[in-house]
Structure 1
């Protein structure tokens, strides 16, 4: 997905007690769902009970307000984005958007996630069935 990763946000509450998600997160999640629907015809890829391994690589954009030297270090991924948002919130946002790929989130038994800087902000996702 070629867009700046967006972390999952906590649900917000109205005065009436109803819940909602922040607009930016809701839009991001919907764009993941639409991309999945477009590429996989909205079909469940993995059957119920199949154990799954998910690999996620989040590439954040490089800030414009840094020196050329620092920009180069980030572009070569020497410097890692050890700052907020947390990697688990990025992960939750993508998995929420991909909920149609599997029967239940409980099928995911292994996750590997990384954060880096890059000129092209994006998220790379690999999902594999684990042979058991």
Structure 2
């Protein structure tokens, strides 16, 4: 079995919990994104897809928006996928945000994921493309 899901909008990286003298909290922007990923999955798929204990492979493609500033040459290279983003946020933080949003929905626990193939790129249509499949 295989599922595909596209999360529209600019990807948001996982953020570390913030600690204050009044307690610990998750930054609102990250919490809203993670909740949005969960909600979109529930509206699209509506139940846990993969049984507990099944090994899973995940392919993630993160598309960041092309910045408004910069030369026409750089914008063209980014639009043609010739120039890749080597800037922050880190790819692992993007991955963590998706794993957190889908945990308990697409699978029972993210320890089922044994293989991840992830890329980040620029595009005029920012989004995250997700493919999850069972490893036979």
Rounded Cα–Cα distance in structure 1 between residues aligned with 2:108 and 2:32: 23
Give 1:11's aligned residue: 17
Rounded Cα–Cα distance in structure 2 between residues aligned with 1:74 and 1:11: 32
Is 1:91 the equivalent of 2:95? Answer: yes
Give 2:34's aligned residue: 29
Is 1:62 the equivalent of 2:66? Answer: yes
| SS in structure 1 at match of 2:8 | coil
- Once the two structures are TM-superposed, the CA of residue 55 in structure 1 deviates from its matched residue by 0.5
Is 1:49 the equivalent of 2:53? Answer: yes
| TM-score between the two structures when normalised by the length of structure 2 | 0.92
- Once the two structures are TM-superposed, the CA of residue 14 in structure 1 deviates from its matched residue by 2.8
Is 1:71 the equivalent of 2:75? Answer: yes
- Once the two structures are TM-superposed, the CA of residue 104 in structure 1 deviates from its matched residue by 1.1
| SS in structure 2 at match of 1:101 | coil
Rounded Cα–Cα distance in structure 2 between residues aligned with 1:130 and 1:4: 29
Rounded Cα–Cα distance in structure 2 between residues aligned with 1:32 and 1:19: 23
Give 1:119's aligned residue: 124
Rounded Cα–Cα distance in structure 2 between residues aligned with 1:122 and 1:59: 5
Is the strand fraction higher in 1 or 2? 2
| SS in structure 1 at match of 2:57 | strand
Rounded Cα–Cα distance in structure 1 between residues aligned with 2:32 and 2:109: 22
- Runs ≥4 residues deviating over 3 A: none
Rounded Cα–Cα distance in structure 2 between residues aligned with 1:68 and 1:96: 37
In the alignment, structure 1 segments of 5+ residues that lack a partner are none
Rounded Cα–Cα distance in structure 1 between residues aligned with 2:98 and 2:110: 12
